A and B are shown apart, each in its own frame.
Chain A
Amino acid sequence: MSAVEVKNLVKKYGSFNALKGISFSINESEIFGLIGPNGAGKTTALRVLSTLLSINDGSVTILGYDLSKHAAEIRRLISYLPEDAGAYKNLSGRAYLQFIANFFDPKEVPAMMQIGIKITDLGARIDDRVDTYSKGMMRRLLVGRALMTNPRLAILDEPTSGLDVINAQEIRKLIKSTAQSGTTFLLSSHNMLEVEYLCDRIALISDGKIVEEGKPKALMEKYKARNIEEVFIRTVHE
């Protein structure tokens, strides 16, 4: 069964057509990457699938639920990490994770907290106020928040944005291992190396349309490219 099924999705902001009928599907436990230039519609697509934005046309099914009718049910199963997300500055890292965990089954809260604290890897700083965190620490806290709830579908917009090489590597490994234990990932990224390393399949989006879709290796072969970056440039600009 597909975890995500998107058919002819159209999203407009007033007269501007941000998504012009895109279609793709994601299998369960798969890491699917949505890549494209700035303003191509990646974040809009992710926001729609996260139940934040309504759709103008087409259909989206997530884990068997129709997005237009069952947004509340979908929110129980997904986790969304926006690109430039923040946390409540007056809370400590631990209090923030606790606040998020409290929206879920009380029996699962201690386990969630344990996972969250482990992923964030903030040590004693977990009890410091969030407004004292560096950009990298904040991003780790937010990734921890997104994955500690053991979501069936994790939607991550630029998951390693703002992280240094070592921290970014840690997060990538974490995404890989979490996918192996059953979580489906939909992510967007500007980092082509990251996409190549992480994603089982990718879709290239440009001007609100999906211009290419497939496994990274297959796409590189198709375009006789050395890496995904070359595929990206050829599909988007040529």
Chain B
Amino acid sequence: MSGLGNITKKEIRELLTPGTFIPIIIVALIFGTMGSSIQGIQEQSLAPPIIGVINEDNSTLSALASTLLYTHANSVYNSTTVSDLKIGLETVMQHNGVAIIIIPKNFTERITKDQQGTFQIYWIMKGAGLMDTISSSSLESLINLINTNISKELIKTNSSVNASLILSPTKRLETTYFKNREFVGVSPNIIFGMLSSQSLLIPIVIMMIIIMSGSIVITSMALEKENKTLETLLTLPVKRTSIVTGKIIAAAIIGLLLAVIYMLGMQYYYTGFQVSGGLNLASYGLSLTSIDFIWIGISLFMALIAGLSLCMLIGTFAKNYKSATTLTFPITMLAMIPMLITLFADFETLPLALKILTFAIPFSHPMMASRALLFQDYILVIGGIVYVTIFAIITISIVVWVFKTDRLLTGTTNLKIKKIFKKRN
């Protein structure tokens, strides 16, 4: 065998270990689940938007607009009087629709008198993720199509029509309903923009803390094994629980310190991109109180402890520094997945499979906490903290159990259950 072949064969044999493949297989499975769920959202978004139409104006241009709406959207509520708005909104909400559009009495009259016609749009916003805004965006496109057709109609019937009106024949009076709140004069896109710019920093910082402190824990375990210090440590008069929690606390402190440094940099980065004249969410009662910040802090701390205990568990599989670098991969993925999910969709609007996956990943909870607290969704935040605490306790208990078994040093355990099976066989 040639030198090259010999070395290649040896390297493949060394790299072809369960430690290399299991993390990737887990991540592939997670992505598979995510992919099929996101496909569901995309299919949903490609469908015509579900709307309600109230057409009070029985004339040419309003007929043109309503015909286009009926053709390109799925209208589940039709009426000719605005007094039915409440019933209309309820019907559209029941059908999981996106908006109700009112074409007022003077719509055609105003346009023919060189004034913009008005669409009154009552948006029903389900979530503040990127995917959640797809339905409203498709309706926005439909309104642009109506404008184009009205312009064509105007040019066809009156060649001397005002050029400004041709370019923009209608205007919108918008109200958005989101999480039982009414935002008068605000479109879903503006709300999405404000919320995403506010809540993007937290998921990124959390992701960085988890990745950095997680790597510290995993490599620390690997180095203890590689440098053969673990055996000495385990024979000293110190409780296994103290070894495990000591390592977790140290990594959490370092992780938080790194987070502070990182956050300062990110803060300046975002300040540089801040656009003035945005929507003041506080004026709609959407601001975080000092108690809310305490909840976020608790959520973050518990997620960090849970994450690091998971890293400790993974770290027990690390044989040396080389294998530790592979084992940090699933933690990186677990931190990135909720960050991407919270960016694309709100927890409430996720398909059930993704909802379960997001809730199950401990790092999701501090990422979702700030937005949930803005809308007083304390159940999600406190429920998340309780879940993450239970997760951390169970994981730490498993790690302590592993520390008490032979697994840590030999890679095998002396399980009684094995003996039972052997005896039965």
Query: Which residues of A are in contact with B by a Cβ distance under 8 Å?
Result: 13-14, 47, 50-54, 56, 72, 75-76, 78-82, 84-89, 100, 103-104, 142, 145
Contacts and interface: CB of A to CB of B under 8 A. Distances in A.
A70 B239 CA distance: 13
Given A13-B410, A14-B412, A47-B409, A52 B229 contact: no
The 9 closest A-B pairs by CB, nearest first: A86-B227, A80-B235, A76-B237, A75-B237, A86-B228, A82-B231, A54-B414, A50-B235, A103-B236
A50 B406 CA distance: 12
A87 B230 CA distance: 9
**Secondary structure class of chain A's binding surface, majority of residues:** loop
Among B238, B412, B414: residue with most chain A CB under 10 A: B414
A51 B406 CA distance: 10
Contacts of A75: 235-238
Nearest to B409: A52
Interface in B30-48: none
Contacts of A80: 231-232, 235
B238 A54 contact: no
Contacts of B409: 47, 52-53
Contact of B229 (A47, A54, A76, A85): A85
A147 to B, nearest CB: 13
Interface in B201-239: 227-229, 231-232, 234-239
Contacts of B405: 54
B237 A52 contact: no
A82 B228 contact: yes
Given A50-B231, A85-B231, 11 more contacts: A51-B235, A53-B409, A54-B414, A72-B237, A72-B239, A78-B235, A80-B235, A85-B229, A88-B227, A88-B229, A103-B238
Interface string B122-148: 000000000000000000000000000
A169 B183 CA distance: 86
Interface of B: 227-229, 231-232, 234-239, 405-406, 409-410, 412, 414
A87 B237 contact: no
12 contacts: A13-B410, A14-B412, A52-B235, A72-B239, A75-B237, A78-B235, A80-B232, A82-B228, A85-B228, A86-B227, A103-B237, A145-B232
Contacts of B228: 82, 84-86
The interface residues of chain B, by DSSP majority, are classed as: loop
A77 to B, nearest CB: 9
A104 B228 CA distance: 21
Nearest to B411: A13
Contacts of B414: 54, 56
A17 B122 CA distance: 76
A85 B232 contact: yes
Given A56-B414, A86-B227, A86-B229, A104 B235 contact: no
Nearest to A55: B414
Contacts of A50: 231, 235
B415 to A, nearest CB: 10
Contacts of B236: 75, 100, 103
A213 to B, nearest CB: 25
Contacts of A78: 235
A52 B239 contact: no
Nearest to A155: B235
A57 B412 CA distance: 17
B77 to A, nearest CB: 69
Contacts of A51: 234-235
A215 B414 CA distance: 35
**Residue from A47, A89, A104 with most neighbouring chain B CB atoms (10 Å):** A47
Contacts of A103: 236-238
A52 B403 CA distance: 10
A74 to B, nearest CB: 9
A85 B232 CA distance: 8
A103 B232 CA distance: 12
B227 A52 contact: no
A184 to B, nearest CB: 16
B227 A104 contact: no
Nearest to A53: B406
Given A53-B406, A54-B405, A13 B231 contact: no
A52 B228 CA distance: 13
Contacts of B238: 75, 103
Nearest to A15: B422
Contacts of A100: 232, 236
A87 B221 CA distance: 14
Contacts of B229: 85-88
B407 to A, nearest CB: 10
Nearest to A157: B231
Contacts of B239: 72
Nearest to B231: A82
Nearest to B405: A54
Nearest to A18: B410
Contacts of B234: 51-52
A50 B237 CA distance: 11
B246 to A, nearest CB: 11
B189 to A, nearest CB: 52
B224 to A, nearest CB: 9
Most buried by A among B232, B237, B412: B232
A104 B237 contact: yes
Nearest to A85: B228
Contacts of A56: 414
